[in-house]
Amino acid sequence: MATKLERTAADGLLDTLTIRPMTPAIGAEIFDIDLSAANIGESIPALRQALLAHGVIFFRDQTLTEEQHIALARHFGDLEIHPATPKDQENPEILRIAHGPKSRGQENSWHSDVTWRDKPSLGSILRAVEVPEVGGDTLFANMHLAYENLSPKMREFCEGLTAVHDIARVFAGRLGKAPEDLHEKYPPMSHPVIRTHPETGKQTIYVNTAFTSHIEGLSAKESRWLLDHLFAAASNPEIQCRFRWQKGSVAFWDNRLCQHFAASDYYPARRVMERVTIAGDKPFYRKSA
Q: Which residues are catalytic?
A: 111, 113, 260, 275
Residue from 65, 20, 14 nearest 250 by CA: 65
> Among 59, 61, 68, 65, which Cα is nearest to 39's?
68
Burial 226-259 (b: 16+ CB within 10 A, else e): bbeebbebbeeeebbbebebeeebbbbbbbbbbb
Does residue 166 come out as left (phi exceeding 0), alpha (psi in the -120 to 50 range) or beta? beta
What DSSP character marks residue 36? T
DSSP one-letter string for 8-23: -GGGT--SEEEEEESS
Judge whether 17 and 47 are in contact, CB under 8 Å.
Answer: yes
The DSSP bridge partners found for residue 21 are 28
The answer to whether residues 275 and 125 touch, using CB atoms and an 8 Å cutoff, is yes
For 118, 168, 176, 178, 209, the CA distances from 181, given in Å and listed in that order, are 17, 9, 10, 5, 22
Parallel/antiparallel/unpaired status of strands 258-262 and 138-142: antiparallel
**Interatomic CA distance for residues 228 and 249, integer angstroms:** 33
Name the 3-class secondary structure at 275: strand
